[in-house]
Amino acid sequence: MMRNRLRWMVVALAMSSPALVAAPRGTWWVVRSANFDARVSHELEELARREGATVRYIETAKSPRALTLVFEQAESPEAFIKDLKQGADSPTLTEATEREGYILDATYLGERPKLIHISAISAAGFHHALRQASR
């Protein structure tokens, strides 16, 4: 699964990633949990509208031809912080980074993203990931 796979450890708004802007127009398939924060869903739908796409929610990743976004709530704060530290330049993270950080993992087919996986512990983390990915 490492073919054309890029992994970004992105903390707050420190790096720029045009992943969603380069995404194909049409339908964005979104995998999320039942208790996913409605504010983040609304923000994603707004971004899709601006990009000329529609959002469809599903339980598991669907088609390798369409863009699929997976939003995963971290299992625990401790596990998430451990994952953040693995990709960080510094082993010490601020409280804000631990609370509002995220991990964005994108798989590309050619120049276009096909799968974007975002892990966060909070709605703020998902919000920051969407803001960064839309740049």
Domain that holds residue 86: 5-133
Which has more pLDDT, 6 or 54?
Answer: 54
Show Cβ contacts of residue 93 under 8 Å, excluding neighbours closer than 6 positions: 11, 81, 84, 85, 101
- Give residue-wise pLDDT tens across range 70-90: 888 888 888 888 888 887 777
Output the pLDDT for position 24: 52
Q: How far apart are CA 91 and CA 50, in angstroms?
A: 37
Tokens 């971004």 -> residue: 47
- Give residue-wise pLDDT tens across range 29-67: 888 877 788 899 999 999 889 888 888 888 776 665 677
Angle CA(77)–CA(14)–CA(16) in degrees, nearest 5? 115
**CATH number for the domain that contains residue 92:** 3.30.379
Region 84-100 average pLDDT = 81
How does the average pLDDT of the chain come out, rounded? 75
- Residue 22 in this model has a pLDDT that exceeds 80: no
Which has more pLDDT, 88 or 28?
Answer: 28
Give the number of domains in the chain: 1
Region 108-135 average pLDDT = 86
